[in-house]
A and B are shown apart, each in its own frame.
Chain A
Amino acid sequence: MATVAVSTTNEDKLWRGGVEPLKASYGKLMMWFFLLSDTFTFSALLITYGLIRFSHPVWPTGATTFSPTYWPIPEKVFNAIPFAHGLDLPLVFVGIMTFILIMSSVTMVLAVEAGHRMDKADVQKWLLWTIVGGAAFLGCQAWEWTHFIHGTDEGTLLPTGERIFGASLSQNQYGPMLFADLFFFITGFHGTHVFSGVILNFLIFYNTTMDVYQKRGHYEMVEKIGLYWHFVDLVWVFVFTFFYLV
């Protein structure tokens, strides 16, 4: 056992600088820590949603209308899909959206795997599919917002006698105002992240086609943007569960 800590142990060599103590590059490490901070942001939003939701009474099962006092049952609100007006298909569309995003996450992993093999053609192919998936998700979310804002055919009869349609920041056909507020806020925040992710993916795709990473000798940039993209998918998994299922 060493009695005086003059000798440089392995610990010292690890943390004295000049090496990567966590065996990850600066860029990758900083991306992880950024994702951690973003986790706090989204957790705060989602947990607040839980707090507000559980402080409201919920419709007993079998409810068929909306009311400003009761928190709505999500499958009664989100039951439409494009080109199928009038059909009651609870949560089908949001299930399709979840599938699209998880698929784009899979294609992202495949792009990273291709990068490890320095396979430029495959990186391009899988990055392109990821971009398509992200854009498709954004299109679906835009439709969901439009439908939510537009409202149902019958609308809701308020206790004042007025019939309102749809939801915005000043009225909500489906339930309490806070439901609409939180829907726009949380899915809006998430959608913004998806949008910026698609932009970044496109930039990395462009760099790949211009041989930037081939000349650099590694595709680590694809890995880093992959981390961001998986985070976006992860947040959606939580949003989907807490907003639409619970």
Chain B
Amino acid sequence: MEHSVDHNTTEIAKPNVGHIWRTFWIMAAITAVEFVIAFTMPSSLLKVSIFVGLTIVKAFYIVAEFMHLKYEVKSLIYSVLIPVLFVIWLLIALIFEGGSIFHVR
């Protein structure tokens, strides 16, 4: 046994991973639903919106649970989330642009 800090003699707690696996199963289920929709629904604005919506739900689970942001201080949560509003704005603006270019072509 190497003589490092006392940690070798203290009890190591048992893993507390229930919520981690729960989040994994939720993600797997959402991805499965996305696949089903990809092959059964005809291409439409509704289909795209459903995909974007489900992706945002998955993103929420990754950021809040896996990256632990849900459990951080409010100001940290806001300093990360509020700048993302700029991305939302860009998304909306450029989707309209793309449509306009298509009609002008």
Which residues of A pack against B, CB within 8 Å? Answer: 21-24, 29, 32-33, 35-36, 39-40, 43-44, 47-48, 50-58, 61, 75, 90-91, 95, 98-99, 102-103, 105-106, 108-110, 113-114, 117-119, 122, 211, 214-215, 217, 223, 226-227, 230-231, 233-234, 237-238, 241, 245-246
A238–B27 touching, CB < 8 Å: no
Q: A237 to B59, Cβ gap below 8 A?
A: yes
List residues of chain B with CB within 8 A of the CB of A98.
Answer: 31
What are 8 of the A-B contact pairs (CB < 8 Å)? Answer: A22-B79, A40-B87, A50-B94, A118-B12, A231-B67, A237-B55, A237-B62, A246-B48
Tell me the bound Cα distance from A123 to B101 in angstroms: 51
Partner of A55, one of B52, B73, B98: B98
Residues of A near B102 (CB, < 8 A) are: 54-57
Query: Judging by beta carbons under 8 Å apart, are B58 and A237 in contact?
Result: yes
Contact across chains for B94 and A113 when beta carbons are under 8 A apart: no
User: For the complex, would chain A's binding face be called helix, strand, loop or mixed by DSSP majority?
Assistant: helix
Q: Which of B73-105 contact A (CB under 8 A)?
A: 73, 75-76, 79-80, 83-84, 86-87, 90-91, 94-95, 97-99, 101-102, 105
Contact B76 A32 (CB under 8 A): yes
CB closest residue in chain B, given A22: B76
Give Cα distance in the complex from A76 to B22, angstroms.
34
Closest beta carbon of chain B to A224's beta carbon, Å? 11
Given the complex of chains A and B, what is the CA–CA distance between A103 and B35 in angstroms?
A: 18
Known: A61-B43, A109-B65. 7 other contacts (CB 8 A): A22-B72, A32-B80, A40-B87, A47-B95, A102-B31, A122-B15, A241-B54
